[in-house]
Structure 1
Amino acid sequence: MARGARTLDTVGWAELVALPDLDIPFVRAKVDTGARTSALHAIRLHHFEKDGREWVRFTVPARKGRSKHRVEAPLAGIKKVRSSNGETQKRFVIRTRFVIGGKRFRAEVTLSNRSQMGYAMLVGRTALKNRFLVDVSHAYMQGDTPPEGSKS
């Protein structure tokens, strides 16, 4: 290894991701290096102003054994995103903390209705860059239980 180089943790093609700022202990996510930005399944999106700043309110639909979750977060922007079917959509963007395995970091995530997708979240390459290597032959390389300390 080159002097000063650091080793990166390895993730599989699917991982558990905690979003503590949103009070989401974990979500099953597909890791997708073909997607630039991460995306979270969200419905009932509402853009509003609070304390002179733009915010977005949304619902994260229920998972097995859990109720739906209403969230408010400062709006980081609006992006045009080309979806997997080739259509361009405008999406709300927030910045939030991610926890994958033992690694904590902040990254952007777009809010999108992913009800037709197999995973409620997609982790894109900008969140992965300089943090993780991807081994597409495995899933849940960071563990198949919720990340340690994901409620913090």
Structure 2
Amino acid sequence: MSNDLVTVGWQEWLAFPEMGLPAVRAKIDTGARTSALHAHDVEHVERDGETVVRFLVNPLFKGRKLAVPCEAPIVDEREVTSSNGHTELRIVVEAMLRLGLAADAPEWPVELTLTDRRGMRFPMLLGREAMSGRVLVDSGASFRLGRPDHPGAFYE
């Protein structure tokens, strides 16, 4: 096993700085192939001759009062089958993931599917494709990379 792997718990705080998301609570899910980000009010927009997607994210999920506007280039649209067997066509975007909230935390590009996760406990699900070769999951631990006292402060 490589010493370069970052050990995480089954839930962690992540960031997508380029999308204006400095703190997003995520479930680390080795059972999910793809990563999913809760998004709503999704719309396609033309920007400099390229189609991008504009959407809102509730990064803290608590009460869902905070809605952060995001925009990203569309990589693809794919059918994704959820754990309950429901298949959905989802927009796929690429974003730079920061694993943890520290400014010097490891970063790499990941693909995210945009979906409505209102019925779920986490706004973000980090799947195994995004973690492959980089992450080791300690399923008995939570927040191995740290836990902010006041996550909302990242958005003030």
Question: TM-score by structure 1 length?
Answer: 0.87
- State the match for 2:87 in structure 1: 88
Aligned pair partner of 2:34 in 27, 37, 41? 37
Where do 4+ consecutive residues of structure 1 move more than 6 Å? Answer: none
- State the match for 1:103 in structure 2: 106
Matched, 1:19 2:16: yes
Judge conservation of contact 2:25–2:59 (CA < 8 Å) in 1.
no
Q: Which runs of 5+ in 2 are unaligned?
A: none
Q: Distance in 1 between matches of 2:66 and 2:124?
A: 17
Aligned pairs for 1:117-132 within 5 A: 117-132=120-135
Q: Distance in 2 between matches of 1:21 and 1:80?
A: 26
Q: Distance in 2 between matches of 1:77 and 1:104?
A: 22
Q: Distance in 1 between matches of 2:93 and 2:106?
A: 19
Q: Which runs of 5+ in 1 are unaligned?
A: none
- State the match for 1:142 in structure 2: 145
**AA in 2 matched with 1:142:** L
Shift of 1:90: 0.4
Q: Distance in 2 between matches of 1:62 and 1:120?
A: 6
Judge conservation of contact 2:59–2:123 (CA < 8 Å) in 1.
no
**AA in 2 matched with 1:73:** A
**AA in 2 matched with 1:105:** W
Structure 2 residue matching 1:126: 3-state secondary structure = helix
Judge conservation of contact 2:75–2:94 (CA < 8 Å) in 1.
yes
Aligned residues with identical type, % of pairs: 43
Q: Distance in 2 between matches of 1:62 and 1:30?
A: 12
C-alpha RMSD over aligned residues: 2.2
Shift of 1:7: 3.4
**AA in 1 matched with 2:76:** G
Question: TM-score by structure 2 length?
Answer: 0.85
How many residue pairs get aligned? The number is: 146
